[in-house]
Amino acid sequence: MESINQFVSFVREQYHTDKFVPLHEPRFRGNEKEYLLDTIDSTFVSSVGAYVDRFEREMEHFTGAGKTVAVVNGTASLQVALRLIGVAKGDEVITQALSFIATANAIAYNGATPVFLDVDLDTMGLSPRAVRRFLENYAELREDGCYNKFTGNKISACVPMHTFGFPVHLDELMTICSAWKIPVVEDAAESLGSYYKGKHTGTLGQVGCFSFNGNKTITCGGGGAIVSNDLELGTRAKYLTTTAKRPHPYEFFHDEIGYNYRMPNLNAALACAQMEMLESFLADKRKLAGGYTEFFKSIGVNFRTEINETKANYWLMCVELGDRSERDSFLKETNEKGIMTRPIWTLTYRLPMYQHCHRDEQINAEFLEQRIVNIPSSVR
């Protein structure tokens, strides 16, 4: 109880408030209102407009990606990214069960089935060792790719998710997937501002996907982005998310099933203003993480920090508690005292629509599910 009271006092001191402290709320401190009014005055509030184009260029500059396509949300970005690299009905896609539901849903939207493999304890993201074990036991290479030799289904993609902005072990994972001819799509929804060996997350796989939901590091209400260094894939992403319409000054001709997924100019105006604040947001979050590190060290609790050769954005900060009982007590007492905390997600394979999916033993994922708690992480 005393350590929880100390935590509550520390959080209130960081945010200079005696009121309710949310987990992660947006900050609008820049040109958001100016750009929104400019968009309204222009009448270009839908999916065509100067702010959409500007936001895409700014994402390319910030991440180093060759091509960015702005879309309506992160789930849509992942759904389209999987289609771009060839995921089709009846395929299998390797991913992690320790993730937000959108990761698995995007796979299902393409008619494919998730294969849930374990995570690493240090990154909380997809474990290369678990992927290697699964492929050695279940997969075989054919001329046109990798197949599950027991189900006969093609294993057409691997989707690691950078949990809370902590990059997975990408080099090892990419090497394994390359050897088995499996494209990697990075679910970088939570990791804008995170780097792996100096490269921004989302730019190492064939395609990367970002989210700008209301609780992300920067937000435009909704919003997402597809990034790729393969310009051909990027061009096709823009075509598919613009209803597969062939360019023409006035005629409408669509030659395949596409999606009406382009980000509206109104949202992009917000996104551009938020991008201008991103570096200061990241600096503030890193400073807050440093304060949490010292505080939790003083009371003997493990605050999760970045590992060697990575730089985390500290999107949602978290602690690892001793067991499920300690976790539940911490959650109950902090929320009762007006400090919002939440457990990590329920593992996806426990949910009714995904209980039939193949999974391994999930030793690390279940360990983390019992112990990880997110704590207030907003920019101050």
DSSP secondary structure letter of residue 72: S
Helices 265-298, 2-15: inter-axial angle, 10-degree rounding: 140
pLDDT given for residue 114 in this prediction = 98
pLDDT (tens digit, 9 = 90+) per residue, 288-342?
A: 999 999 999 999 999 999 999 999 999 999 999 999 999 999 999 999 999 999 9
| Residue 252, Cβ density class (10 Å: 0-12 exposed, 13-18 middle, ≥19 buried) | exposed
Residue among 247, 246, 245 nearest 259 (CA): 245
Place of tokens 């997975």: 168
Distance between the two ends of the chain, CA-based, in angstroms?
26
- Count the residues in the chain: 380
And the tokens for 2? 């005393």
Do 15 and 378 meet the contact criterion of CB atoms below 8 Å apart? yes
Place of tokens 């590992």: 307
* CA angle, residues 108, 112, 117, in degrees to nearest 5: 90
21 forms bridges with which residues in the sheet? 339
Place of tokens 């009905």: 89
3-state secondary structure of 113: strand
| 206 CB-side CA count, 13 A | 24
Place of tokens 């759904």: 79
What sign does the dihedral 33-36-38-41 (CA atoms) show?
negative
DSSP secondary structure letter of residue 320: E
Q: Which amino acid is at 282?
A: L
pLDDT (tens digit, 9 = 90+) per residue, 175-194?
A: 999 999 999 999 999 999 99
The pTM of the full predicted model, rounded to 2 decimals, is 0.97
Helices 2-15, 324-336: inter-axial angle, 10-degree rounding: 50
Tens-binned pLDDT, residue by residue, of the chain (380 aa)? 689 999 999 999 999 999 999 999 999 999 999 999 999 999 999 988 999 999 999 999 999 999 999 999 999 999 999 999 999 999 999 999 999 999 999 999 999 999 999 999 999 999 999 999 999 999 999 999 999 999 999 999 999 999 999 999 999 999 999 999 999 999 999 999 999 999 999 999 999 999 999 999 999 999 999 999 999 999 999 999 999 999 888 999 999 999 999 999 999 999 999 999 999 999 999 999 999 999 999 999 999 999 999 999 999 999 999 999 999 999 999 999 999 999 999 999 999 999 999 999 999 999 999 999 999 999 99
Report the distance separating Cα 224 and Cα 244, nearest Å: 19
The alpha helices in the chain, defined as continuous H runs, are 2-15, 32-42, 50-63, 74-84, 101-109, 128-138, 170-179, 231-240, 265-298, 324-336, 363-369
Sequence-distant (6+) residues with CB within 8 A of 378 are 15, 22, 23, 24, 25, 27
Cβ atoms within 10 Å of 248's Cβ, excluding its own: 8
Place of tokens 């350590």: 3
| 61 CB-side CA count, 13 A | 10
Residue among 43, 52, 80, 130 nearest 360 (CA): 130
What order do you get walking across the sheet with 67-71 strand by strand? 67-71, 224-228, 207-211, 185-187
Output Rg (C-alpha) for the chain, integer angstroms. 21
Report the distance separating Cα 263 and Cα 44, nearest Å: 12
pLDDT given for residue 332 in this prediction = 98
pLDDT given for residue 2 in this prediction = 87
Q: Domain 32-275: state its class.
A: alpha beta
Do 156 and 111 meet the contact criterion of CB atoms below 8 Å apart? no
Q: What are the Cα distances from residue 239, in Å, to 104, 226, 244, 373?
A: 24, 12, 5, 40
